[in-house]
Chain A
Amino acid sequence: QKEVEQDPGPLSVPEGAIVSLNCTYSNSAFQYFMWYRQYSRKGPELLMYTYSSGNKEDGRFTAQVDKSSKYISLFIRDSQPSDSATYLCAMSDAGGTSYGKLTFGQGTILTVHP
């Protein structure tokens, strides 16, 4: 069993739809939870960062963490064609400079069509 499971999709939605992306994990030591967006032929870029359980909102994006269920989600409201990318969840059990030791999900390919 992988430490982090993410449905690879692909996911295709019409413009304006609400998108829900999810990951489950097995390592209860994970404390830092992130969502990255990766455009084709580019490196991942950080979208959302959450420490421990709870919700975090940034514009059209909302990240949720439920540590009791070992489940994290990313919601995208009013999705736009420019949101078309691969979305990766990532987690870490270490703080400080070791924070860079991330465990990633497989990534979900999202296409938002006009």
Chain B
Amino acid sequence: SAVISQKPSRDICQRGTSLTIQCQVDSQVTMMFWYRQQPGQSLTLIATANQGSEATYESGFVIDKFPISRPNLTFSTLTVSNMSPEDSSIYLCSVVRATEAFFGQGTRLTVV
């Protein structure tokens, strides 16, 4: 299994501000994945983060809006920049161990 800790677990933010979400894994992993779960919607992959290289973003997501850092093999951050109410979602990080993808408990973001 994998133990994934996400911080913060929830936050309420003003529009126009930025929030950085942290993801800590209990052991080294090559790739970390960031997902968004909008209300009533499925989980959507935002980007894949490799240590030592730029993150790879999925269609519809850009680095200026969702900058990602991956300073080492157990840690990553996702920043939601210049937030608007449409960014209100649950953000989850994920890692793969063998054939199983594990998820953190998520960060519930509300933008007002």
Chain A interface (Cβ < 8 Å from any Cβ of B): 4, 6, 8, 32, 34, 41-46, 49, 88, 90, 97-107
Contact of A43 among B40, B48, B92, B96 (CB under 8 A): B92
Pairwise interchain contact B96-A4, C-beta atoms closer than 8 A: no
Q: How large is the interface on B (under 10, 10 to 19, 20 to 34, 35 or more residues)?
A: 20 to 34
CA A100 to CA B101, docked complex, whole Å:
6
- What's the nearest-Cβ distance from chain A to residue B102, in Å? 8
Contact of B45 among A8, A46, A102, A105 (CB under 8 A): A102
The main secondary structure of chain B at its interface with chain A is strand
Pairwise interchain contact B31-A104, C-beta atoms closer than 8 A: no
CA A43 to CA B2, docked complex, whole Å:
13
Write the chain A residue with the least CB distance to B43.
Answer: A104
B66 at the interface (CB under 8 A from A): no
CA A45 to CA B40, docked complex, whole Å:
18
Considering only residues 41-87 of chain B, those with a C-beta below 8 Å from chain A are 41-45, 48
Residues of chain B lying within 8 A (CB to CB) of residue A97 = 30-31, 96
Residues of chain A lying within 8 A (CB to CB) of residue B92 = 43-44
Residues of chain A lying within 8 A (CB to CB) of residue B42 = 4, 6, 88, 104-107
CA A100 to CA B35, docked complex, whole Å:
11
Pairwise interchain contact B105-A100, C-beta atoms closer than 8 A: no
Pairwise interchain contact B43-A44, C-beta atoms closer than 8 A: yes
Report the 4 A-B pairs with minimum CB-CB distance, sorted nearest first.
A43-B103, A100-B96, A104-B42, A104-B43
Sample of 20 A–B contacts (CB below 8 Å): A6-B42, A32-B99, A41-B106, A42-B105, A42-B106, A43-B104, A44-B92, A46-B100, A46-B102, A90-B101, A97-B31, A98-B48, A99-B99, A100-B33, A100-B95, A102-B33, A102-B43, A104-B43, A106-B40, A107-B42
